[in-house]
Structure 1
Amino acid sequence: MMNTKFSEDIVPIGDLKINPGKIIRQVQEAHRPVLLTNRGRGVAVLQALSDFESDAEERRFMKGVLKGMVDLEEGREVSLDDAKKHLNIK
């Protein structure tokens, strides 16, 4: 899990306008998202694309695991042999 550094990770949107390269390098190197603020209120989150993709993949995986657990609890299961046949795996 990422640890937020409030002194670095909360940035007024004006700072992004002044020096976007610095903020982008920060999120890429620190692997922590930056909260952009406007007049003291959070308005957006800036995150490195690789971190965003990794987080999205992890969420999809965890949703699949949870769905599988619910299916098992509700009796929706098949044998390994039936699954292999359905997926054409030998």
Structure 2
Amino acid sequence: MAIKFSEDLVPLTELKINPARVVKQTTEAHRPVLLTNRGRGVAVVQSVADYEKAEEERAFMRAVVAGLADLEAGREYSLDEVKSQLGLK
């Protein structure tokens, strides 16, 4: 989901004039739009679906990193230990 600078830079004034076009662009292209003011980036607009997907991916990656850290620190349980703690047979 890399920004295509030729297509995804939008001046704030254009957002004020035609916000629907900017929203449609983010939804159809599945890329965020970088809003600029006087040539500098000031904000990012992204579709809700793409934002939620990215958040889920970040949460998953954080869980993987935490799991790997637990393994390195020796914080691990066998399947039998987990079943016993959960009261499963």
TM superposition score normalised by structure 1: 0.90
Q: CA RMSD in A?
A: 1.4
Q: CA 1:36–1:87 in structure 2 vs 1: closer, same or farther (change >3 Å)?
A: farther
Measured after TM superposition, the shift of residue 6 of structure 1 is 1.1
Q: Please, which runs of 5 or more residues in structure 1 have no aligned partner?
A: none
1:56 corresponds to: 55
**Cα separation, 2, equivalents of 1:14 and 1:70:** 46
Percent of aligned pairs with the same residue? Answer: 60
Counterpart residue type for residue 13 of structure 1: L
Q: Count the aligned residue pairs.
A: 89
Counterpart residue type for residue 83 of structure 2: K
**Cα separation, 2, equivalents of 1:29 and 1:89:** 47
TM superposition score normalised by structure 2: 0.91
Q: Please, which runs of 5 or more residues in structure 2 have no aligned partner?
A: none
SS of residue matched to 2:44 = strand
Measured after TM superposition, the shift of residue 7 of structure 1 is 1.7
Q: CA 1:87–1:18 in structure 2 vs 1: closer, same or farther (change >3 Å)?
A: farther
**Cα separation, 2, equivalents of 1:4 and 1:60:** 22
**Cα separation, 1, equivalents of 2:88 and 2:51:** 33
**Cα separation, 2, equivalents of 1:88 and 1:39:** 62
